[in-house]
Amino acid sequence: MQVTIDTASRKEAELIAAGLPRPAEAKSVRGYGFIRLRSRNAKETQEILQAAGAGAALHKLAWIRVRWDDEERVFRRGEPSF
């Protein structure tokens, strides 16, 4: 399954990518950062989600959004907001 992590900048995407359990490349479009990677199963998706949230908290990022399948989770200052 495809997992996409959106951030406010490429620099923030690079910070999150460095902490993910699998190698991932940070990119940028129109000033926003993003990371796209594949997940083999739901367990791996949860590991990516936890690592992304932990990275957002560690680096005190204002927000990140993680999307997979038809779901998404937004972290504000590292805390899930929904």
| In contact, 50 and 73? CB cutoff 8 Å | no
pLDDT given for residue 78 in this prediction: 80
For 47-72, the pLDDT digits (tens) are: 999 999 999 999 999 999 999 999 99
pLDDT given for residue 75 in this prediction: 95
User: What range does the domain containing 49 cover?
Assistant: 2-80
CATH number of the domain to which 74 belongs: 3.30.70
For 9-30, the pLDDT digits (tens) are: 999 999 999 999 999 999 999 9
59: region left, alpha or beta (phi > 0 left; psi from -120 to 50 alpha): alpha
Total of domains in the chain: 1
Edge to edge, what strands does the sheet with 26-29 contain? 26-29, 32-38, 2-7, 64-68, 71-76, 79-80
Q: What are phi and psi for residue 41, nearest 5 degrees?
A: -160, 175
pLDDT over 70 at 82, yes or no? no
